[in-house]
Amino acid sequence: MELGVYTFGDNSVNPETGRMYPPERSVQNLLERAKLADEVGLGFFGVGEHHRPDFPISSPSVMVAAVAAVTKNIRVGSSVTVLSTEDPVRVFQQFAEISLISLGRTDITVGRGSFIESYPLFGDSIGEYEELFEEKLDLLLKLNKENPITWSGKFRNSLDNVGIWPRPYGETEIPIWVGTGGTPASSARAGRLGQHAIYAIIGGFPMQFKPLVDLYRETAANHGHDVDKLKVGIAGFGLLGEDAKATKELFYPYWHQTMGQISAERGFAGPSPESYRMQVNHPGAFLVGSVSEVKDRLLELKEGLGLNRYILQMDLGNLDHQAVMKSIELLGEIAPELAD
């Protein structure tokens, strides 16, 4: 199982000015973290997409290209690209160019988005949420396999024997992961299509996802795909520190701030210290604590779910940069053991 980091470039309000920190601060911190993740031997660095002031990365392909240019060995990619409101041709071309920059070290993770800001922004209907994703994923997968391409659909113009350039490094396919929040339908879709699947688990108990992982693999096998070649990953909150108690205390206010804001926007019950304690300790979803504690959790989940990748969002709510850097170093210490 490879270990990695993902980020949305979280920003927050500077308490001294009452205004958001400048977005370039988040971008420069992101690049420092990516270089460190590469240096300590992590397997993946991912950048996600949002269209909000507190998440200043709206174009993951631009940031992934920047990360690719300052790293040498680590795989880089989106986490996620909101494909429902993107043009698959442009997504493929952008990541094909990143593949050339990185000499083949890039992945694409696609999803429908956990926020809806991109739908009105780009003129797509949230009422066509499922249909948009299905059609655009179909086109992206075909672009990855065929050139020239002939294709037709509902939401964009048809392609009739059109060449799409550039092609990825070595004329190979770009690995495509399908992101899911954990519904049976999305697990079955990824299996039916024979694509890697990654589960966003930011609450609850990870082992409760085993039936979904089993469904994914069973569906893939039933549709003639080689299950041994398909990968399963988890993306979730995490932070490593020298001391378990201090690390849990450090992560709490940033988690509370972020989840409190989202809960208020969506009309949900706000986060509580009790729910945090449940999530931050075994068998909860947050891998926050000491190196040995997080390593044990990762080993358990690797075996229990048959995982190939686990990536951690460490900078939740614009958590302290040096703490995130230290966490990346510590994660790198246990990466070789998880890779076995």
Check residue 267 and give its pLDDT: 83
pLDDT tens digits along 125-147: 989 989 999 999 999 999 999 99
Mean pLDDT, rounded, of the chain: 96
Would you list the DSSP string of 37-95? HHHTT-SEEEE----BTTB----HHHHHHHHHHH-SSSEEEES-EEGGGS-HHHHHHHH
pLDDT in tens, 91-119: 999 999 999 999 999 999 999 977 889 99
Q: Is 179 helix (H, G, I), strand (E, B) or coil?
A: strand
- The reported pTM is 0.96
Quote the pLDDT of residue 181: 85
Res. 270 pLDDT band, cuts 50 70 90: confident
pLDDT at 265 > cutoff 80: yes
So what's the pLDDT on residue 268? 84
How many C-beta neighbours within 10 Å does residue 156 have?
A: 14
Rounded mean pLDDT of 118-127? Answer: 92
CATH number listed for the domain at residues 2-339: 3.20.20.30
Query: For the chain, what are the domain ranges?
Result: 2-339
75 pLDDT more than 80: yes
Contact (CB, 8 A) for 20 and 315: no
* C-alpha 173 chain-centroid distance: 19
User: Looking at residues 243-268, what average pLDDT do you find?
Assistant: 93
